[in-house]
Amino acid sequence: MSTRPPAAEPADLAPGAMRAALAAVEPRAAADPGTIRIVRAPGRVNLIGEHTDYNLGFVLPAAIDLEIRIAFVPTDDGRVELVSGATGERARFDLNTIGQRRGSWIDYVAGTAWALAEAGVAMRGLRGIIVSSLPTASGLSSSAALELASAWALADAPGGDVAPLALARICQRAENGYVGVNCGLMDQFASACGVAGASVLLDCRSLDFRSVALPLVTHTLVVIHTGSTRSLTTSQYNVRRAQCEAAAAALGAENPGVQSLRDVTPAMLPRMRDLVGDDVFRRSRHIVTENGRVVETIDALAAGDLAAVGRLWAASHASLRDDFEVVSPELDALVEIAATVPGVAAARMTGAGFGGCTINLVERGAVDALTDRVMADYPGRTGLMPRVYAVDAVAGAGFVTEG
């Protein structure tokens, strides 16, 4: 019996299959296939810099080849009608009367339209179908991918005729102001500004960014899904965010140079401990040390020192577990198992935590050994079935070009 996990979701993202799927549910597409367009937006995996984005620090995500695609025909009637390829569910709204959020997945699309309108980006209606290979609610940013794919589909001009970073900020606004999740910029940034074959460093204060090379000749990125979707995330996320803001405000009251945890240095942490309770102190210590680890990871990657990358990712994981307290036992188990496999250079949880996925930097020849070890050990330890994805780093959202 094979111990291999099933490959990525069965969803068929090939242009031909997507055209046929749209034609099957949308008579306009069947009648005039030449008008069909396809857009794509990738998910992302964060290599290091967790919960630092909303504290105006550093993040190092890569856009990955698990993605959301929308095949659609544009219309001039101002109506947006989308079918979920996974469930067949159809949802709609009108660009002229977007209204309030409804509590369903269409909110991510309607919210993007709302934010695009607010930014003055010209839009038109559409009939489309959404197809995805990206696990949802798993810390790989399916929400941001859906927003970016929607933005590319809704905007009259390619990408709304704004820079990818500006489009990312519009999509973040959609999630903050319409869907009601107070997320930072990282997810939308990665889906919009991803670079093929590389990760991307973002300074969340200045919004400067640059690509950071990965050792992908010898190694590959492996995402391992715990089999449990994130739980409690929105409420716990907002609690963490409020704790970080309280910590920055406490130190900022006596030090005007401190406006966010980005401004707190390790030398200031003892004073922080005097000012705030232990929980809030440990939350802030995670952010301060994590920003340092992002910078050190970039130096280690540049030097080709993967042993150092491994130590930094392990320290990040421990800090997220002990100080930030967002690591579930399942995430811990996956990182522990990975550490026993020769050729796994680095492993840590990725994304907001409370379930979801780990990220592993693995020698190409060791991916099968890691997969086998995880499949052998993890289900017995947790009662859950993991999923293993070897992923490539890909470019940010845009049209799918067929050649």
Residues serving a catalytic function are 187
Distance CA 359, CA 334 (A): 10
Binding mask 71-100 for ligand ADP (x = CB under 6 A): -------------x----------------
From the list ligand ADP, Mg ion, none, partner contacted by residue 132 (C-beta under 5 to 8 A by kind): ligand ADP
User: In the bound complex, what is the minimum distance in angstroms from residue 173's beta carbon to ligand ADP?
Assistant: 15
Smallest separation, CB 333 to ligand ADP (Å): 20
Hey, which residues between 232 and 251 contact ligand ADP (CB under 6 A)?
Answer: none
Please identify, using beta-carbon distances, which residue of 129 and 333 lies nearer to ligand ADP. Answer: 129
State yes or no: residue 68 binds ligand ADP (CB under 6 A). Answer: yes
Nearer to ligand ADP, 129 or 362 (CB): 129
Partner in contact with 297, chosen from ligand ADP, Mg ion, none, beta carbon below 5 to 8 Å by kind: none
Part in contact with Mg ion (CB under 5 A); list of ranges 55-63, 76-84, 136-144, 394-402: 136-144
Taking the complex as a whole, the smallest distance from the CB of residue 107 to Mg ion amounts, in Å, to 12
Task: Look at residue 200 and give the partner it binds from ligand ADP, Mg ion, none, a contact being a CB closer than 5 to 8 Å depending on partner kind.
Answer: none
Q: How far is the CB of 246 from ligand ADP (least distance, A)?
A: 24
With binding defined as CB under 6 A, does residue 324 bind ligand ADP?
Answer: no
Q: Which stretch binds Mg ion (CB under 5 A): 20-28, 140-148, 224-232, 354-362?
A: 140-148
Please write down the HEC assignment for all residues of the chain.
CCCCCCCCCCCCCCHHHHHHHHHHHCHHHHHCHHHCEEEEEEEEEECCCCCCHHHCCEECEEEEEEEEEEEEEEECCCEEEEEECCCCCEEEEECCECCCCCCCCHHHHHHHHHHHHHCCCCECEEEEEEEECCCCCCCCCHHHHHHHHHHHHHECCHHHHCCHHHHHHHHHHHHHHHHCCCCCCHHHHHHHHCCCCEEEEEECCCCCEEEEECCCCCEEEEEEECCCCCCCHHHHHHHHHHHHHHHHHHHHCCCCCCCCHHHCCHHHHHHHHHHCCHHHHHHHHHHHHHHHHHHHHHHHHHHCCHHHHHHHHHHHHHHHHHCCCCCCHHHHHHHHHHHCCCCEEEEEEECCCCCCEEEEEEEHHHHHHHHHHHHHHHHHHHCCCCEEEEECECCCCEECCCC
Scanning the structure block, which residue is given the tokens 């937006």?
A: 41
How far, in Å, are 34, 46, 226 from residue 354 at the CA level?
45, 15, 10
Q: Which does 211 bind (CB under 5 to 8 A by kind): Mg ion, ligand ADP, none?
A: none
When the beta carbons of 137 and 306 are compared against ligand ADP, the nearer one is 137
Q: Which is nearer to ligand ADP, 103 or 403 (CB)?
A: 103
Residues that contact Mg ion, how many (by CB under 5 A) = 1
Least distance from ligand ADP to the Cβ atom of residue 106, Å: 8
Cβ contacts of 127 within 8 Å, gap of 6 or more:
22, 26, 28, 29, 72, 73, 75, 81, 82
Instruction: Write the interaction track for ligand ADP spanning residues 105-144; mark x where CB under 6 A is met and - where it is not.
Output: x--x---------------------x-x---xxxxxxxx-
Stretch that binds Mg ion, among 8-16, 102-110, 137-145, 146-154 (CB under 5 A): 137-145
**What's the token pair of residue 256?**
């005007």
> Binder to Mg ion among 55, 112, 138, 143 (CB under 5 A)?
143
Q: Shortest distance, CB of residue 143 to ligand ADP, whole angstroms?
A: 3
Nearer of residues 172 and 284 to Mg ion, judged by Cβ: 172
Binding of Mg ion at residue 188 (CB under 5 A)?
A: no
Contact 35, 118 (CB under 8 A): no
What character string, x for contact with ligand ADP (CB under 6 A) and - otherwise, covers 138-177?
xxxxxx--x-------------------------------
- The smaller minimum CB distance to ligand ADP, of residues 142 and 382, is found at 142
Residue 350 · residue 326 · CB < 8 Å: no
Query: CB of residue 82 vs Mg ion: minimum separation in angstroms?
Result: 18
Q: Which residues bind Mg ion (CB under 5 A)?
A: 143
